[in-house]
Structure 1
Amino acid sequence: MACMIGAGALAAPVAAQDFVIENATVAAGDGSEPVENASVVVRGGRIAAVGSTVAAEGLQRIDGTGMWVTPGLVASVTSLGLYDVSAVSESNDIRAGSSPFSAALDAAPVVNPNSQHILVHRAAGITRAATATMPSSSIFGGQGAIIDLGADGQPITRARAFQIVALGEDGARLSGGSRASAHALFRNALREALDYDRNQAISGAGMRGGDVSLGDDIAIDSRLLRGPEDRGTDVLLTRFDAAALVPVVRGTQRLYVMVERASDIRSVLALKQEFPRLDMVLVGASEGWLVANEIAAAGIPVIADGLDDLPQSFEQLAATQSNIGRMVKAGVKVAINASAMENPRNLNQYAGNLVALARLPGADGLTWGQAFATITSVPAEISGLRGRAGSLAAGAAGDVVLWDGDPLEAGSMPVRVFIDGIEQPLDNHQSRLKERYRDLDESTLPKAYDW
């Protein structure tokens, strides 16, 4: 749970516990099927061993009989930690519709680790997540962060991990009312970022003699926040936004492209010809199954909505719950995203739906192992945490969840959650309200409640 800015290895916290969970059904999260009567060993905050026979001398022993052990779930695109009450603008940092900046917005400094939404989702078995501000003043939403949901008050696993851009219907709305405008704005922004990257003359001492760091070896002088007026008239981005897009055009920061329609997906795939260094991820992709072979050939991963079974807009007319299964069958790397960013605790239910779907004639679902990987190892890999989160591989972070049953069954719940080998509290406002009112003696209610 230690703060990590950049892509370095996950640091083991000092207070990590050494323990073994024995006699449980173990799901590694790597696409393999669950194994019964197995054990998981955690040492120094990391996974040390998994199997039917492990060395566990001197370790705290946890009996997992009748239970399941898995890696912590990884939520792909969320707003966790960015709001308290979504309808109260003062507590909501998800959108910045009046901001002069867009691509430069950085989610990391505003994540609130004490948000009840983080506590609730930790209790649901989610241990790491990608959280981001959403496009609102421009097609660019800003730079998202990878966080852990631990209780230590240091949530940032990786800051400025990806940039978000909206194309399709949302991009059209934000750029003037047309997809053509969205694509023109997008290409112009990338070219301005390329120009900025080449222009080494833009530098100086800056306000108070300091620079503003954007990560990935990019530092800009704070006086560059003044705007585009001294770069000529044919520019749309502030210098701060242009600098923020430099890692994108360099290919060192992933670009999450929000798109749904098959034709829009094809247009995004074609961008690689013009900007070959772009490292893109498709987000949404409700009609991805129609172009699944093309997505697979491009090697671009997808974060797909887990419960798109009916069209909600004209760009989703071909939506089907078989979308994910068909893309996986075509060789696309797919992670499941929650339909509502603020409520990804239903991810395991969505994955379970895909297992059930595999049993329906004419439908395309996933095996248990494939489905579980879409909410563990695959989103971890997309988030830049391959081998370090989302699986029980040796050396990975000790993010371990002990469930009272099959985690892809809707009625199963975590009973113990560990992040980096540290056991986490599972209480939150919801659990305390449940305890308060579950056995309430109605005779103690005030008269106002007497019906």
Structure 2
Amino acid sequence: MKRTLSAIALSLACTLPAMAQTYAVTNGRVVTNTSAGIIDDGTVVVRDGDIVAVGANVQIPAGATVIDADGGWITPGIFAPVTQLGLVEVALESSTNDSGADDSPYSVALDVADSFNPAGMHIPTTRVEGITRAALVPSTGHNIFGGRGALINTSGETDSVFDTGSFVFADLSQSGASTAGGSRAAAWTFLEAAFGDTRFYPGRYAAHPEGDALHRYDAAALVDVVRGRMPLMVEVDRAADIRRALRFQAENQPVQLIIHGGAEAWMVADELAAANVPVLIDPISNLPGSFDRIGSTLENAARLHEAGVTVAYTTQTADGYWNARLLPQHAGNAVANGVPWDVAFRSITLTPAEIYGVGARYGALAAGYAGDVVVWNGDPLEVMSAPTHVLIDGEETDMETRQTRLRDRYMDITDDTPYAYRR
């Protein structure tokens, strides 16, 4: 028996290295997002899902699959920090919309990962534009809380969700005020009451499942936020509301805040930097679409970066469930309005990963990072550039979508019918 087990072990030892998938992405301008900067004519080697080497003179392992960037750009995968990918197929068709639950008695306890569909039709169209990671942000229901967010990759595989309970989302903007009873005072009072319920959980619920604001089950889900182990993402745009959020954080230590929206964040940039609160903004949000956004400006991103605020970019103005693919274009607009190129690119790769606590694994090209690698035929922040290859966790992904199949099917059709009969 021992001899048989030894033989099996030896067989496995000989087999495993051969099973490891190795890619060498060569002949490209490598954007590392590390102290190594940008490497001209560089190579990235990925083995068995992880990056193992990055540099200008990297030896290509024997048997590796070589992807020639042909002088293009080699970058980390794009990380979209606010999306509803896989939650919504058609927004106005309720049976295909799992972004929120208006009629549920629960709120904080709702886990968006339970609604995620990795086979959603918008995921391939996002992936082929270079987005490899994304955060799922729920919509609110009957109160200011939407539930718990999650992190996904865009491979479309069944194990696409790689982190759950990543944050709790709450709306403290004008829409949240409306949900809470008609004013911002009502929204903040509800949040304070929810924290009060949670601080005394489970004792407060010994005799009854309802607290001042939250059901017992929701209070249990908020415990990690109150104790600083999970961030609270709050949607606010007005400078006054952002200041109120900063005061809430100071009064409720060790809570960690993430500001989503931030149209007027530039007005309180120094305060955000001092409090070390990150902001998720759309750099092309420049119109006063509501009274919350009177101070919107295309210089929002540049002013926040200059003040030292941690900033990641979103596609809030273009919708998050099917247009997250436009994120590089939005970052390019930030560059056009004063943000240095490397800062803008970091804001859609490594910075969002760091905000969600996974920056040691995603968002950079360095040994030990996940093999999320994108090859572009030009500058990824230029609107006419496009990915030619996308690797997720060291596996090359399919660059075909429903749109590309339709294009290929109809682009070369010749209509020989008389002109009057053509459609």
Q: Deviations over 1:148-192 (max 9, x none)?
A: 111432111101111000102121111011000000001001111
User: In the aligned structure 2, how far is the partner of 1:243 from the partner of 1:444?
Assistant: 68
Q: Deviations over 1:218-253 (max 9, x none)?
A: xxxxxxxxxxx8257x62311111111111101111
Counterpart of 2:270 in structure 1 is: 293
RMSD: 2.0
Counterpart of 1:355 in structure 2 is: 335
Counterpart of 2:379 in structure 1 is: 406
Decide whether the 8 Å contact of 2:209 with 2:215 is kept in 1. no
Decide whether the 8 Å contact of 2:171 with 2:236 is kept in 1. yes
Counterpart of 2:47 in structure 1 is: 43
Amino acid of the structure 2 residue aligned with 1:283: H
Q: State the TM-score, normalizing by the size of structure 2.
A: 0.91
Counterpart of 1:438 in structure 2 is: 411
Decide whether the 8 Å contact of 2:284 with 2:334 is kept in 1. no
Amino acid of the structure 1 residue aligned with 2:303: R
Counterpart of 1:361 in structure 2 is: none
Gaps of 5+ in 1: 1-13, 203-228, 358-364
User: In the aligned structure 2, how far is the partner of 1:390 from the partner of 1:148?
Assistant: 12
| Equivalence map 1:219-234=2 (5 Å) | 230-231=208-209
Counterpart of 1:104 in structure 2 is: 109
Amino acid of the structure 2 residue aligned with 1:42: V
The equivalent position to 2:291 in structure 1, one of 291, 314, 332, is 314
Deviation of 1:77 (Å): 1.0
1:275 aligns with 2:248: no
User: In the aligned structure 2, how far is the partner of 1:400 from the partner of 1:32?
Assistant: 16
Gaps of 5+ in 2: 1-17
| Equivalence map 1:158-173=2 (5 Å) | 158-173=163-178
1:366 aligns with 2:339: yes
The 1:263–1:23 alpha-carbon spacing in structure 2 relative to 1, beyond 3 Å, is same
1:341 aligns with 2:320: yes
User: In the aligned structure 2, how far is the partner of 1:16 from the partner of 1:285?
Assistant: 44
Query: Equivalent pairs: percent with the same residue?
Result: 42
Amino acid of the structure 2 residue aligned with 1:317: I
Q: Secondary structure at the match of 1:253?
A: coil
User: In the aligned structure 1, how far is the partner of 2:35 from the partner of 2:292?
Assistant: 31
The equivalent position to 2:61 in structure 1, one of 38, 53, 57, is 57
Counterpart of 2:136 in structure 1 is: 131
Counterpart of 2:218 in structure 1 is: 241
Q: Secondary structure at the match of 1:354?
A: helix
Q: Secondary structure at the match of 2:329?
A: helix
Aligned pairs, number: 402
Decide whether the 8 Å contact of 2:283 with 2:300 is kept in 1. no
Shifted more, 369-378 versus 273-282: the winner is 273-282
Decide whether the 8 Å contact of 1:20 with 1:41 is kept in 2. yes
The 1:110–1:231 alpha-carbon spacing in structure 2 relative to 1, beyond 3 Å, is closer
Deviation of 1:445 (Å): 11
User: In the aligned structure 2, how far is the partner of 1:161 from the partner of 1:31?
Assistant: 28
Deviation of 1:274 (Å): 1.9
Q: State the TM-score, normalizing by the size of structure 1.
A: 0.85
Amino acid of the structure 2 residue aligned with 1:190: F
Deviation of 1:306 (Å): 2.6
Deviation of 1:31 (Å): 8.4
1:20 aligns with 2:24: yes
